[in-house]
């Protein structure tokens, strides 16, 4: 097949490229430039130049052409502006889900033609065809599984994708990198939000929202215990960074209107159990609500899932009940739903109860 391969300069996408090359496909590689140079250059070195150098070296080793696609404008309009707006509203955004849906498998498609039968990436995920429809399945490696970040895709997008490393453990991908002797085989995995690189998210937030001192108040007593630089620097469930003695203290609530952060030492007491929430903007990959309402859910990227029940109401909304308490539930987060290993779709947490 003729395949467009998205490469990042990391080990995972490089191994995906080499596997497809070994299988004899006709390949062209693409590097999506989303780094906001003018916006963030003062905060640190531009990581995209090092990433691109590695991507170029990997492609040159097997004579695969590499194209650089500038998508900074689209990324700002469709991902970064959303992130800033969510933080300003006191919510917890998940920009990487939108990056996949709107940029990598959205805006990028406008830069390639239909001669590319498939688009391949280094995501840890798998696909299968069930009852005539392509479904998204968890990766072999439960810790590296990235279906959480792919849950906002449409059926049309999923049909065109390939995940060459989804059937491997991360350790096996590293072994393949050694066997292929790729130039970046020893490169560590990247961490954090894709457009920030090594820059701290708090520095990015400070650049856009500034600092504004507000009160830190103990939830149970109403006692003021300290000051913070802005509620937007704090997330529900946060333990570090409060700079207070007598803890451990946890952030349990924010009041954006009054710029107050509420904290507690009794974070796991019965009156603070978080096991129910509502979701809005429900999105099902195959376009229809699942018949089964006893599912499982991930509240964030990672191995852990909860058994849950989902009760739809209204338009693209539902009430979710978990089989356990998650003290990090926060409006704005995505809840991603599964039936066994199949990722069904997602919804945005609008209210925790």
Prediction pTM value: 0.90
Q: In the Cβ-directed half-sphere of 79, how many Cα atoms lie within 13 Å?
A: 25
6 and 67 share a domain?
yes
pLDDT at 191: 61
98 and 242 share a domain?
no
CB atoms within 10 A of CB 28: 16
CATH of the domain at 14: 3.40.50.620
Q: Which of 250, 270, 290 is the last residue of a domain?
A: 270
Clarify whether 346 is annotated catalytic. no
Hey, which residues does 169 pair with through a beta bridge?
none
CB atoms within 10 A of CB 111: 13
111/163 Cα distance (integer angstroms): 20
56 and 170 share a domain?
yes
Residue of 59, 99, 308, 343 marked active site = 99
Residue of 46, 59, 167, 194 marked active site = 194
171 and 259 share a domain?
no
136/129 Cα distance (integer angstroms): 9
Contact 297, 305 (CB under 8 A): yes
22 and 99 share a domain?
yes
The Cα-based distances of 67 to 8, 23, 113, 259 in angstroms read: 12, 21, 14, 46
CATH of the domain at 247: 2.30.30.280
Q: Is residue 296 part of a domain?
A: no
249 and 176 share a domain?
no
116 and 218 share a domain?
no
236 and 170 share a domain?
no
168 and 218 share a domain?
no
Q: Is residue 311 part of a domain?
A: no
115 and 228 share a domain?
no
Contact 346, 336 (CB under 8 A): yes
279/349 Cα distance (integer angstroms): 4
Q: What phi, psi does 210 have (nearest 5°)?
A: 70, -160
Q: Rounded to 5 degrees, what angle do the CA atoms 121, 67, 47 make?
A: 75
Q: Is residue 278 part of a domain?
A: no
Q: Is residue 158 part of a domain?
A: no
pLDDT at 44: 54
62 and 173 share a domain?
yes
Q: Rounded to 5 degrees, what angle do the CA atoms 352, 241, 41 make?
A: 100
Hey, which residues does 216 pair with through a beta bridge?
226, 261
50 and 174 share a domain?
yes
Q: Is residue 151 part of a domain?
A: no
Number of domains in the chain: 2
Q: Which of 242, 270, 298 is the last residue of a domain?
A: 270
Residue entry with tokens 């960074």: 241
Q: For the segment 142-182, what is each residue's pLDDT rounded down to a tens digit?
A: 999 999 999 999 999 999 999 999 999 999 999 999 999 99
Q: Is residue 309 part of a domain?
A: no
Residues in the chain with pLDDT < 70?
Answer: 36-47, 191-199, 268-272, 352-353
Q: For the segment 267-319, what is each residue's pLDDT rounded down to a tens digit?
A: 766 666 789 999 999 999 999 999 888 999 999 998 999 999 999 998 999 99
The Cα-based distances of 208 to 40, 54, 68, 80, 200 in angstroms read: 11, 31, 28, 11, 13
pLDDT at 40: 55
pLDDT at 85: 93
The parent domain of residue 68 ranges over 2-122+164-180
Q: Is residue 328 part of a domain?
A: no
Q: Following CA atoms 191, 193, 196, 201 in sequence, which dihedral angle do they give, to the nearest 10 degrees?
A: -100
3-state helix, strand, coil in the chain (%, to 5): 30, 30, 45
Clarify whether 308 is annotated catalytic. no
Please report how the helices 201-209 and 81-88 are oriented relative to each other, as an axis angle in degrees rounded to 10.
Answer: 80
pLDDT at 214: 95
CB atoms within 10 A of CB 299: 23
Q: Is residue 351 part of a domain?
A: no
Instruction: Quote the strand ranges of the chain, DSSP E.
Output: 2-6, 26-33, 66-70, 118-120, 126-130, 133-137, 161-162, 214-218, 224-228, 250-255, 260-264, 276-284, 294-298, 306-313, 317-322, 334-339, 342-352
């Amino acid at each position: 097949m003729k395949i467009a391969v998205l490469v990042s300069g990391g080990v995972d996408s490089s191994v995906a490229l080499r596997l497809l090359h070994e299988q004899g496909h006709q390949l062209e590689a693409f590097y999506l430039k989303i780094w906001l140079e003018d916006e963030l250059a003062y905060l640190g070195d531009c990581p995209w130049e090092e990433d691109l150098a590695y991507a170029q070296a990997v492609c040159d080793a097997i004579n695969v052409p590499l194209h650089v696609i500038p998508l900074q404008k689209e990324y700002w309009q469709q991902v970064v502006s959303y992130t800033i707006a969510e933080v300003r509203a006191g919510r917890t955004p998940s920009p990487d889900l939108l990056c996949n849906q709107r940029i990598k498998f959205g805006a990028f498609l406008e830069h390639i033609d239909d001669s590319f039968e498939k688009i391949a990436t280094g995501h840890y995920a798998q696909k299968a065809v069930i009852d005539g429809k392509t479904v998204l399945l968890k990766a072999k490696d439960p810790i590296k599984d990235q279906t959480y970040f792919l849950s906002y895709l449409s059926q049309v997008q999923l049909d065109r994708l390939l995940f060459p490393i989804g059937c491997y453990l991360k350790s096996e991908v590293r072994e393949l990198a050694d066997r292929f002797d790729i130039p970046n085989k020893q490169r560590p995995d990247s961490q954090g939000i894709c457009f920030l690189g090594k820059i701290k998210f708090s520095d990015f937030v400070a650049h856009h929202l500034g600092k504004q001192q507000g009160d830190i108040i103990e939830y149970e007593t109403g006692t003021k215990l300290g000051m913070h630089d802005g509620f937007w620097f704090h997330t529900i469930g946060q333990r570090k960074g409060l700079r207070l003695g007598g803890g451990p203290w946890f952030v349990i609530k924010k009041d954006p209107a009054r710029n107050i952060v509420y904290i507690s030492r009794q974070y796991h007491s019965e009156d603070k159990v978080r096991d129910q929430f509502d979701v809005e903007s429900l999105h099902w990959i195959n376009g229809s609500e699942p018949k089964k309402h006893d599912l499982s859910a991930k509240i964030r990227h990672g191995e852990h899932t909860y058994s849950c029940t989902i009760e739809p109401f209204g338009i693209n909304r539902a009430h979710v009940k978990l089989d356990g308490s998650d003290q990090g539930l926060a409006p704005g987060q995505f809840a991603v739903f599964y039936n066994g290993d199949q990722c069904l779709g997602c919804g945005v947490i609008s209210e925790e109860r």
